[in-house]
């Protein structure tokens, strides 16, 4: 189906930046720079500078960034790692594959880790915390870091959806031992395929992740230092990402403009919860613009019929997937979110006209459903 308002528009994205992208690819290929060459080193340095850390190590997915971070922290069998139930399954899979036990806690109204739930879940076996910065909004990192320091716990940030977001002027991926990023094609900074990175200020962690990503080999000496993995960020991908990274600040500003427009156009729609404006401590990058309603499925079908493409992240909790063999926790907020959330079109290419079309369709749906009811809007989250 062709949508008049696509969720993202990779064709238009490529059209706008084709000259720069093609040059980066052709230059890399013409030099024969395919594996572990200067383009990757340049991107890693520029990414570290952008995030505000000393090091960045390119890997081939955010899953590997998370897994390698846990391994670098010494997490293994007998350990517990606390993270949220409302996240992509890779966050939890990374814990499981180390042999550790994932402990899932509930989220706050902003979809991010609830510090009170985190603190209540800590046991004598807890070794690490993975806060997930969802939708381009950072967790309450001051409280989470205070809890971690007081209990001697390691913090690994899942910042897959938060590149460029900040809390108290500090960017996502620079708070914990590591930050873990995704360059999946539809992220704010997306590659031509999958990709990821680990950011850190710890030279030993950066060194260990660098070994793990290329089969444990020390490329300087040819010595294999450990049993590693094949998980390198390809050089061509790095070259393209380095080009795009230069545009990212403007893309984020555009996302913030579109988000503000959505909020203004939807602020008085009944039976709809929209993102509240964050406090001055937060700078949101709006990887997603997420609304909530108990008429989610009907609304989404109506938008589809009107040519507006939307996305639902995780329509059922991960523990309902029997193949994952996870314990069933009592997380009422996560359960409700899975039933109610819907992500509206949002990208660097989303136009104000498209946001207006989407918003008008939503207003028409609720006008029909509520017969002109004048209920007031409540906000999905506030910081």
Task: For 99-140, give the DSSP string.
Answer: TPEEEEE-B-TTSSB-HHHHHHH--TTEEEEE-B-GGG----
Residue 343: strand pairing partners: 290, 311
78-103: b (≥16 Cβ within 10 Å) or e: ebbbbbbbbbbebbbebbbebebbbb
The whole-number pLDDT of residue 375 equals 45
Residue with tokens 């080193």: 41
Has residue 296 got a pLDDT over 90? Answer: yes
Q: Is the pLDDT of residue 372 over 60?
A: no
Provide the CATH number for the domain formed by 10-245 in this structure. Answer: 3.40.640.10
H-helix or E-strand containing 83? strand 80-84
- The arithmetic mean of pLDDT across residues 265-293, rounded, is 94
Flag whether pLDDT at 58 surpasses 80. Answer: yes
pLDDT tens-place string over residues 179-227:
999 999 999 999 999 999 999 999 999 999 999 999 999 988 999 999 9
Taking only the tens place, the pLDDT of each residue in 137-158 is: 999 999 999 999 999 999 999 9
pLDDT above 70 covers what percent of the chain?
Answer: 96
pLDDT for 371: 58
| Stretch 158-176: mean pLDDT | 98
The pairing of beta strand 154-158 with beta strand 126-130? parallel
Numbered ranges of CATH 3.40.640.10 in the chain: 10-245
**Cα gap 360→192, rounded to integer Å:** 33
**99 pLDDT higher than 60:** yes
Reading the block at residue 271, the tokens are 């039976």
Confidence at residue 276, expressed as pLDDT on a 0 to 100 scale? 80
Residues of the chain with CATH 3.90.1150.10: 248-381
Which is more confident, 280 or 376? 280
What is the C-alpha to C-alpha distance for residues 261 and 272, in angstroms, rounded to an integer?
A: 16
d(CA 7, CA 346): 6
Which tens digit of pLDDT belongs to each residue from 335-362?
999 999 999 999 999 999 999 999 999 9
**pLDDT at position 57 over 90:** yes
Average pLDDT over residues 244-252: 98
Average pLDDT (288-306) is 97
* Residue 379, pLDDT above cutoff 80: no
Backbone Cα Rg of the chain: 21
Judged against a pLDDT cut of 70, whether residue 7 lies above it is answered with yes
- Look at residue 382 and tell me whether its pLDDT is greater than 50: no
Q: What is the pLDDT of residues 113-123, one digit of tens each?
A: 999 999 999 99
Does the structural domain 248-381 have CATH classification 3.30.910.20?
A: no
DSSP-assigned letter for residue 192: S
The overall average pLDDT reported for the chain is 95
Q: Where are the beta strands (DSSP E) in 217-360?
A: 273-275, 282-283, 289-292, 341-344
Can you give the pLDDT at residue 381?
A: 42
């Amino acid at each position: 189906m062709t949508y008049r308002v696509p969720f993202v528009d990779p064709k238009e994205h490529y059209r706008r930046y084709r000259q720069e992208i093609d040059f980066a690819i052709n230059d890399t290929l013409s030099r024969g720079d395919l594996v572990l060459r200067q383009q990757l080193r340049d991107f890693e340095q520029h990414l570290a500078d952008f995030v505000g850390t000393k090091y960045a190590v390119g890997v081939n997915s955010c899953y590997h960034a998370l897994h390698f971070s846990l391994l670098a922290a010494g997490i293994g069998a007998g350990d517990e790692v606390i993270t949220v139930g409302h996240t992509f399954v890779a966050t939890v899979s990374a814990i499981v594959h180390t042999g550790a036990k994932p402990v899932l806690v509930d989220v706050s109204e902003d979809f991010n880790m609830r510090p009170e739930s985190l603190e209540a879940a800590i046991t004598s076996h807890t070794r690490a915390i993975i806060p997930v910065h969802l939708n381009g909004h950072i967790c309450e990192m001051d409280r989470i870091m205070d809890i971690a320091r007081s209990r001697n716990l390691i913090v690994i940030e899942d910042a897959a959806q938060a590149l460029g977001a900040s809390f108290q002027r500090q960017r996502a991926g620079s708070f914990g031992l590591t930050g873990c990023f995704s360059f999946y094609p539809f992220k704010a900074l997306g590659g031509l395929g999958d990709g990821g990175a680990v950011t850190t200020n710890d030279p030993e962690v950066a060194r260990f992740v660098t070994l793990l990503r290329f089969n444990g080999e020390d490329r300087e000496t040819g010595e294999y230092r450990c049993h590693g993995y094949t998980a390198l960020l390809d050089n061509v991908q790095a070259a393209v990402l380095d080009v795009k990274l230069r545009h990212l600040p403007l893309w984020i500003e555009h996302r913030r403009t579109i988000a503000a427009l959505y909020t203004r156009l939807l602020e008085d729609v009944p039976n709809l919860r929209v993102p509240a404006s964050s406090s001055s401590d937060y700078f949101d990058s709006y990887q997603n613009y997420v609304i909530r309603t108990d008429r989610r499925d009907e609304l989404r079908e109506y938008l589809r019929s009107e040519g507006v493409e939307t996305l639902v992240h995780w329509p059922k909790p991960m523990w309902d997937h029997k193949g994952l063999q996870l314990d069933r926790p009592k997380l009422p907020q996560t359960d409700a979110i899975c039933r109610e959330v819907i992500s509206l079109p949002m990208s660097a290419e989303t136009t104000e006209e498209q946001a207006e079309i989407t918003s008008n369709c939503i207003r028409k749906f609720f006008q029909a459903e509520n017969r002109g009811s004048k209920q007031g809007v409540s906000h999905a989250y506030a910081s």
